[in-house]
Structure 1
């Protein structure tokens, strides 16, 4: 409030000839009256009031705060309990409805041909990249931004960068082989993030970060992503936290936050370098000039879409989304293989036939034809959970209709993908790792499961990098298993501590005590399926 407005208010109160002490009393009464009216509105007159749910959740966002901030990322699982009490549609805060009925998925996450779909500001507030394509609220602006990037992630484009993926996977295998000579412990968690970051950085900027060459791989980058994920709910509830940490990252004295701040500074410098090079008319580095940000700078869009600040947020979103989620799936898949020797042996036999020379990987399109590898990767995706957080959508023009349920336009409604992939009706014993549930691949029941494997989302905002992720999964798992077989041995890995997803930080997070997936590679001289 500026000085002129404040003066006007107090002059008006003086005209009422209220005693000075009564001014504070009046303001207190007005505040209480406002809160009472707000409570009545939220409970009885809000568009969301027709839906069942806890009264406390309807009254205040503090209910969500308790589970997501105070208890750290637990609201996703609390919402699951609420559905058991209130049914498939539950009011989970003053404005938002949550659904757990799988049949509603395609209605909610519709294509652009059916209707416009906006995101909800409450969801975007959690993000550190609010001006990126992924976090864009309005439907039309999202389509514009996505159209600039979609060609880079088409199947044909991913095929052109497959040699890059193979080089990075070979680099990972070389590091693993070298570690066998010293019997040193390798963090596959950090190594997989390094592989995916090296690939997405090349696609974005024209050069690779080369994290695979660092002794600790991408540990610092990974720690920064995890720390910012753990802070996401606090930022949503109190957006000023974002600005405070941007200005004073050392306030928390958290190594991960400091690493994240350094990452942001590096991305800012990299984007600025691309903008300067592009302005000078110089070609991108590399043999093919295949870079996302040169294409964005060439695009026929308003100037505000090309500012360094917005491009930097896009860079943050792309590098994070293009690394951590795929690396998490690789973590989960390799862990399950190493703890299920029968699955490992079966996959190795299949790969031994398909890849006679372990050093020469076939194209990803050939690997996609392998039935057990394909089934295993689908189960690895399912068991890794993807992004456990709910994805709220707003239909700005028309209401959602589902049976006798009508959700008014403008009212946010979301689903949690983790509920879909852990639905016991679709996936019996959902916590068990069973690749066979995906075989035969064209069986009607398997087709139904494939439709419910919504790890990449759906509708007009389905994951942009789905084709890149599949190529990385096929090539990485095939190379690691074919070359090493049972030579990989887990080192001090406790599933409940190190890999189990227990926190929804938008990204899936294990416990704070997690050491990640660590292995020791047995020497070639020791007999095993991978010693050939």
Structure 2
């Protein structure tokens, strides 16, 4: 063997040994630091969770959104506060929820930078890491989504609900099976599309209720454990030519269609503003992005790319979260004739003028049984099932005898709040009656489907309006009579945490016929 080849072999052999040794030493030091010297070393929890985030990845990717249930097991074993990753704590104590999720006047709340990393929406108001940046980006949106702001949208939401019912009525007597879960995503997307882009996406009227958008959302949700564990993936995909991506996965065409539609609306709105400097001629009420362009935000926050990502967040989250709750409540109304009759009896005084007049949001909120159905639906559909990580950047958080240092991520889950048997007896049973008698202050206080504090859900008021207007219109006296088709509770009950909760992944959906 030539001398050069022998020397190369020796160098490679020693290089490999050096790499192995350095890697082993680094791993040993990292493990020792996380177990014994980390600021979180004093907190209880399984050692494997303290050492590596791969434990969470295993449960969320290979066991398909299972880590939230594993965290519950940790709390059952270790107590109300546990270390669930090398950098995160979880607290299960419903009475502490409002102490962690506070307003900005109490303390600043940062987002944990590891939360939802890799999904390429870091510049949106929702995922802005620092409290101050989040506040700056969110504040101009708050008037638009306030109670007074969404009241201006009420006629539009009502019209979408009526159009939805007309579409359902078109199936009456056809014996055709409808995916009601697809239909509700279409309804929610039409509402959010009108708010964001001043035009309906008209998914309600598409033959399959815009199933492509439904599939895009669910495929994206299923990918979250992978892209959060490997945040470089999206960056790599972004540099691959679209033609290749479409060949690999044709479903991406639908995603890009909505992204490009959002981008074009924002480009057009910016150009119109430049051409018509008189603000009174520039409609701000109908489009959230026209509203933003007049908000006084710095130009860096008004770039086309950033606002396009905001639009994608609005359209995605606004479509799927409201639809999941509508699925949940509708199933129980259809499955329980007593619920349906009671709701219709309650609606009789308000629905006499349908379709010329719809009852107002305020009138609907006063109906006790409808309100109870919605509260119970929100309780068991959870809103966001995943822990919502909160970071106090400059103050310690005190929980009982524990002092949590500044900069540490602390998460609490609506799932654990809403299924605590000390607050809600028989917690996994859908029982709207619990909201009609013997309602305790704790029941109301611990119902947190939209979170609380400075980072609560911006679209809460709009979501409530959609729920009240849609359910009252669909299930009104004389409305379309829906019958379940080969659907049971396993198709509805939340079984997987992909941030948004999903039912059994083998489910064929909420299937109904209009009879």
Normalising by structure 1, we get a TM-score of 0.89
1:140 aligned residue: 132
SS in 2 for 1:130: coil
Q: Shift of the alpha carbon at 1:185? A: 2.3
Of the candidates 370, 373, 377, which is equivalent to residue 367 of structure 2?
Answer: 370
Q: Distance in 2 between matches of 1:465 and 1:225?
A: 18
Of the candidates 229, 234, 246, which is equivalent to residue 237 of structure 1?
Answer: 229
Question: Are the equivalent residues in 1 in contact too, given 2:169–2:480 (CA < 8 A)?
Answer: no
Question: Are the equivalent residues in 2 in contact too, given 1:58–1:93 (CA < 8 A)?
Answer: yes
1:226 aligned residue: 218
Q: Distance in 1 between matches of 2:306 and 2:284?
A: 25
Q: Distance in 1 between matches of 2:276 and 2:63?
A: 52
Question: Are the equivalent residues in 2 in contact too, given 1:207–1:285 (CA < 8 A)?
Answer: no
Q: Distance in 1 between matches of 2:480 and 2:332?
A: 13
Q: Distance in 1 between matches of 2:214 and 2:200?
A: 16
Q: Distance in 1 between matches of 2:336 and 2:353?
A: 25
Q: Shift of the alpha carbon at 1:61? A: 1.0
Q: Shift of the alpha carbon at 1:298? A: 2.0
Q: Distance in 2 between matches of 1:212 and 1:41?
A: 55
1:426 aligned residue: 423
Of the candidates 445, 466, 470, which is equivalent to residue 464 of structure 2?
Answer: 470
1:9 aligned residue: none
1:106 aligned residue: 98
Does 1:336 pair with 2:332?
yes
Q: Distance in 2 between matches of 1:192 and 1:483?
A: 20
Q: Shift of the alpha carbon at 1:28? A: 3.0
Does 1:69 pair with 2:61?
yes
SS in 1 for 2:349: helix
Q: Structure 1 488/81 Cα, relative in aligned 2: closer, same or farther at 3 Å? A: same
1:511 aligned residue: 504
| RMSD (Å), alpha carbons | 2.2
Q: Distance in 1 between matches of 2:412 and 2:495?
A: 18
Question: Are the equivalent residues in 1 in contact too, given 2:474–2:480 (CA < 8 A)?
Answer: no
Q: Deviations over 1:414-471 (max 9, x none)?
A: 011111111111111112111110014xx5x343211111000001111111111111
Q: Shift of the alpha carbon at 1:486? A: 7.6
Q: Shift of the alpha carbon at 1:485? A: 5.5
1:97 aligned residue: 89
The range that moved more, 20-29 or 452-461, is 20-29
Of the candidates 17, 24, 31, which is equivalent to residue 39 of structure 1?
Answer: 31
1:31-430 matched pairs, under 5 angstroms: 31-248=23-240, 250=245, 253-254=248-249, 256-281=251-276, 289-359=285-355, 360-430=357-427
Question: Are the equivalent residues in 1 in contact too, given 2:351–2:477 (CA < 8 A)?
Answer: no
Q: Shift of the alpha carbon at 1:288? A: 7.2
Q: Distance in 2 between matches of 1:168 and 1:485?
A: 15
Q: Distance in 1 between matches of 2:408 and 2:251?
A: 36
The range that moved more, 57-66 or 203-212, is 203-212
Question: Are the equivalent residues in 2 in contact too, given 1:118–1:138 (CA < 8 A)?
Answer: yes
Question: Are the equivalent residues in 2 in contact too, given 1:228–1:256 (CA < 8 A)?
Answer: no
Normalising by structure 2, we get a TM-score of 0.92
Q: Shift of the alpha carbon at 1:47? A: 0.8
Q: Distance in 1 between matches of 2:152 and 2:64?
A: 42
The range that moved more, 278-287 or 114-123, is 278-287
Q: Distance in 1 between matches of 2:13 and 2:174?
A: 77
Does 1:488 pair with 2:482?
yes
2:495 aligned residue: 502
Q: Distance in 1 between matches of 2:101 and 2:20?
A: 44
Q: Structure 1 177/23 Cα, relative in aligned 2: closer, same or farther at 3 Å? A: closer
Question: Are the equivalent residues in 1 in contact too, given 2:266–2:304 (CA < 8 A)?
Answer: yes
Q: Structure 1 288/461 Cα, relative in aligned 2: closer, same or farther at 3 Å? A: closer
Q: Structure 1: which 5+ runs fail to align?
A: 1-17, 523-532
Q: Distance in 2 between matches of 1:246 and 1:19?
A: 38
Q: Distance in 2 between matches of 1:484 and 1:130?
A: 47
The number of equivalent residue pairs is 501
SS in 2 for 1:274: helix
Q: Deviations over 1:378-436 (max 9, x none)?
A: 11111212111111111001000122111111111101111111111111111211111
SS in 2 for 1:26: helix
Q: Distance in 1 between matches of 2:281 and 2:55?
A: 51
Q: With a CA cutoff of 8 Å and minimum separation of 6, indicate the structure with the bigger relative contact order.
A: 2
Q: Shift of the alpha carbon at 1:30? A: 2.3
Question: Are the equivalent residues in 2 in contact too, given 1:185–1:491 (CA < 8 A)?
Answer: yes
Of the candidates 450, 461, 464, which is equivalent to residue 455 of structure 2?
Answer: 461
Q: Distance in 2 between matches of 1:214 and 1:101?
A: 45
Question: Are the equivalent residues in 2 in contact too, given 1:421–1:430 (CA < 8 A)?
Answer: yes
Q: Shift of the alpha carbon at 1:295? A: 1.9
Does 1:521 pair with 2:494?
no
Q: Distance in 1 between matches of 2:81 and 2:228?
A: 23
